[in-house]
């Protein structure tokens, strides 16, 4: 290979629009609700700086068809180590944001470090 030639990065096997890296919760009665989450959002081929998502904004991302995963930043700014997919379980005010690997959660549980 000639010097200075670029090599295309392998495409991701898992399509991801949003990577949640940390969360903060609040107690509402017997349930735990997401207060806010820190996440990176994909814009085409680039990722945003870290953003804060409150519960309503994160739920809107799910309802808008975004593919949301829990993860952590990799060594490069464009790399993430994906832990598991997140999903919206239930409807309306009773909906919960949970990881696809967890059983029945008593509220929101993203499976990421707390902030």
Predicted pLDDT at 13? 67
How many CA atoms are closer than 13 Å to the CA of 111, on its beta-carbon side? 20
Note the helical H segments in 1-115: 55-63
- 36 Cβ partners below 8 Å, 6+ apart? 23, 24, 52, 53, 54, 55
Predicted pLDDT at 5? 40
Mean pLDDT of 61-90: 90
pTM: 0.83
Predicted pLDDT at 75? 83
Number of Cβ within 10 Å of residue 114's Cβ equals 8
pLDDT, tens only, 16-75: 999 999 999 999 888 899 999 999 999 988 889 999 999 999 999 999 999 999 999 888
The angle subtended at Cα 30 by Cα 24 and Cα 36, nearest 5°, is 15
């Amino acid at each position: 290979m000639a010097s200075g030639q670029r090599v295309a990065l392998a495409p991701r096997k898992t399509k991801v629009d949003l990577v949640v890296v940390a969360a903060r919760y609040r107690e509402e009665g017997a349930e735990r609700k997401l207060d806010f989450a820190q996440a990176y959002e994909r814009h085409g081929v680039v990722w945003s700086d870290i953003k804060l998502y409150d519960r309503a904004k994160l739920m809107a991302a799910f309802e808008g068809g975004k593919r949301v995963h829990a993860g952590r930043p990799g060594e490069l700014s464009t790399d993430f180590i994906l832990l598991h997919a997140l999903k919206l379980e239930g409807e309306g005010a009773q909906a919960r944001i949970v990881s696809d690997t967890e059983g029945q959660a008593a509220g929101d549980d993203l499976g990421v470090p707390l902030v």
